Amino acid sequence: MVKKRLDIDSLFKASLSDYSLSSREGDWELMNHLLNEQQKKKKRRWFLFFLLFAGILLSGITLIFTDNNFTKLPAKTNHPVSPDPAQGNIVSKTQINIPKTLGGSRVDSAAPSDTKFLQTNGNNIPTIILTPQEKTPEIKSTNPLSTFLPKASKEEYEANEDIKPIGKNSSLLASENLSPTKKSSVSDLANPQTFPDSTTSMEAMKHSFDSLDTREHEVKERVTSTSNNSETINPNSIFSVSAIIDTLQKDSLYVSTLSSTTPDSSKEMEPIAATNKLFGVYLHGGVNMYTPNTSAKSQITLAPIGGLEVIYSLSTKLSIGLAGLFASQNGYQLNDTAQLESYFLDRNVSTQTIQIHTLQKIYIPLTLYVALTKKHSLLGSLRASWIINTKGNFSDIKIIENRSTEMYENNVNGYLDGIKPWIPGASVGYQFRVSENFNFSARFTRDFTNPYHEGFVTGVTNKPTWSLQTMVTLKIN
Amino acid sequence: MKKLCLAHLKYLAFLYLSLSMVSCEKEHLQPDPPPGNTTPLVYISATLNHDSIYLAGGLASYVGSVSVSDILTFREFNFTLKSTNNPFHSQMEISINNYQNEQGVLQADLDHSIFPGTRHYQNKDHFIPLAANVTWFDPAGIKFSSDATTQNTSFKIISVEDIIFESKPYKKAMLEFECNLADPNGHIIHLTEGRATALFGVQ
């Protein structure tokens, strides 16, 4: 009998054309090589993902360390860049800097915070230079702006209709208001009717001008002490006058640029808070594409996602945001069954089954935004997803003493057995800025760990998942 | 100021929503355990001639049942372990006679009949109060009964416990017995090492 079986085995072996013991070792080597290649491909995919993520992170860090001026406000002026006043060349603007003690503001890092210039060069074009060490011009105005405003410029401002709203309502540019004792300019500027955009900002500006008054006293003292060395300003001279009042971004003050060469410069007076606010609250809404992994075919499922994000601007190019996004994801078929039995006269069985079809998650991404251009940004984030609730269909069947009782309930909440509450992941993505308050973004996310505990739920492939989140973003604060 | 209040209101609303979601009650799939023991409660084990048997309610389709039989003025309380797949085959029944010759209130009769002690075996000639009877249906369905032959051993009720299951009262009795079982043709089986946990009730 055994011999016959051997014959049959030989018959099958002989019928297989490619059967040979000699080639078996080579096949194994080939299979081993192919398996290694597959593993390498998987590793390569992961490597590319992390390379992209690390690239975004690295570029962000690089920007942090290279962009040292991220706290400096953009100087809103249309003037050409001034040559060095120390060389006696033309200075096309006069800068009045608020001392650091009044808020630590700084307009130009090259100029000392308490330096003013008034000088006349050979072309009868005055250049204002005021430094504690050098000669002080003969200035009798207490208003620091009027100090450097010649008559010709006053007339020019008054003649210019675009500047009239400022000049008429405030004494800043009016010649009759340039007297040393006149201080109504501050109150006029703080008048909400003058600048109805923001009363709060006006108050801040008022505070800033009060600080300037303090500075005036210092200037007056210098003028008194150095009156013999004063220079004369040609009242008919035409030169550019700028007043840049600037503070740190945190103070939410105004950037004010007044220039005789740009009649529209008064319109540039706009709140810093609108463009340089450090914190912003954004409302996200969009679609989350994911694979529930409930079948052999990775079925892509869509779910709405939405939430809030607080973004902190590290610099003009770099910002970081912490969000809380809620998504109610359905399409799952996570089955969990619990059975209990007991004995009396017969075996009594109680079977409870839950089939979870919806997972409600909160995604908490810590996102680094890197602005490539004004409209295009890359983003990379570390993300944690948090299961807060599930929805499923529940059944309870009891068979006691051959009597069966059944109970069914749909959309029951809160069954979390076998589902990991926290799943870490990472995202890379892109953001397109449609307008100042409206963005579009898309991000790929890969989980780091399996979403379920082993041996709890059935009907699911327990692997880390990919998801694509596309969202529109609305700035709400 | 108004804007600031609105902003704070938004944050508070967000915080409230977050906390309300977090505080959702978490459920676990833990079914209510059905009443009863986690191991078979009722069983009968014995040696029939040289073959040992073990019958348990809930195992191998065996189910225990309790019954009351009223014959004429007599009453007996029965406990049976039978196969739902093949009744009256390999089935055993233990009966305890009422404590009196006439029928009383069911529960009172039960209380007065099932208690620890040593009992005689019932014989086929006359009703003996508190006597016991053991019946065996062999795999072929042939009935062997202790009242069909003479006995020279006793039947012991070791302990009795009142239990309630599904709102019904039972008496759980632990039994030890040895006896002779005979079929109508006079064939005898010697039952030895008989042990059982049986239930008696009024249903």
C-beta atoms of A477 and B165 within 8 A: no
Better pLDDT: A191 or B60: B60
- Distance of residue B117 Cα from the nearest chain A Cα, in angstroms: 24
Q: Is B14 exposed, middle or buried (CB count within 10 Å of its CB: 0-12, 13-18, 19+)?
A: middle
Token couple for A396: 């309870």
C-beta atoms of B27 and A402 within 8 A: no
Query: pLDDT at residue A158 above 60?
Result: no
DSSP label at residue B32: P
Strand partners, B65: B80
Query: pLDDT at residue A235 above 50?
Result: no
* CB contact at 8 A, A362 and A389: no
A197 near B CB under 8 A:
no
Query: pLDDT at residue A265 above 60?
Result: no
Distance CA A317, CA A276 (A): 12
Query: pLDDT at residue B48 above 80?
Result: yes
Residues 266-285 of A with CB under 8 A from B: 281
C-beta atoms of B34 and A339 within 8 A: no
Per-residue confidence at B175, pLDDT binned at 50, 70, 90?
very high
Which of A329, A287, A283 lies closest to A469, judged by CA? A287
Token couple for B167: 């709102």
B104 near A CB under 8 A:
no
Closest partner residue to A414 (CB to CB) among B7, B24, B64 is B24
Distance CA B133, CA A132 (A): 126
Closest partner residue to A389 (CB to CB) among B24, B32, B57 is B24
In this prediction, residues A120-144 reach a mean pLDDT of 43
Average pLDDT, chain A: 65
Distance from the Cα of residue B120 to its chain's centroid? 22
C-beta atoms of A346 and B58 within 8 A: yes
DSSP label at residue A451: S
Strand partners, A451: none
In this prediction, residues B17-24 reach a mean pLDDT of 62
B64 near A CB under 8 A:
yes
Please report the pLDDT score of residue B142 as a whole number.
95
Strands B91-97 and B132-137: antiparallel
Report chain B residues whose CB lies below 8 A from the CB of A356: none
Per-residue confidence at A367, pLDDT binned at 50, 70, 90?
very high
Other Cβ atoms closer than 10 A to A144: 24
C-beta atoms of B34 and A416 within 8 A: no
- Identity of the amino acid at B173: A
Q: Which residues contact A399 (CB under 8 A, 6 or more apart)?
A: A348, A349, A350, A405
Query: pLDDT at residue A471 above 50?
Result: yes
Report chain B residues whose CB lies below 8 A from the CB of A282: none
A405 near B CB under 8 A:
no
B7 near A CB under 8 A:
yes
B57 near A CB under 8 A:
yes
Strand partners, A313: A319
In this prediction, residues B176-203 reach a mean pLDDT of 94
C-beta atoms of A344 and B41 within 8 A: yes
- Distance of residue B138 Cα from the nearest chain A Cα, in angstroms: 21
A343 near B CB under 8 A:
yes
- Identity of the amino acid at A111: A
Distance CA A250, CA A103 (A): 9
Better pLDDT: A456 or B182: B182
Closest partner residue to B32 (CB to CB) among A350, A413, A476 is A350
Report chain A residues whose CB lies below 8 A from the CB of B14: 308, 324
Better pLDDT: A176 or B49: B49
The pTM is what? 0.51
Token couple for B78: 């029965």
Please report the pLDDT score of residue A53 as a whole number.
67
B37 near A CB under 8 A:
yes
Report chain B residues whose CB lies below 8 A from the CB of A415: 27-29
Please report the pLDDT score of residue A466 as a whole number.
87
Closest partner residue to A324 (CB to CB) among B18, B32, B36 is B18
Distance CA A130, CA B109 (A): 121
Report chain A residues whose CB lies below 8 A from the CB of B41: 343-345
Better pLDDT: A175 or B59: B59
Residues 14-33 of B with CB under 8 A from A: 14, 18, 21-22, 24-33
- Distance of residue B74 Cα from the nearest chain A Cα, in angstroms: 26
A324 near B CB under 8 A:
yes
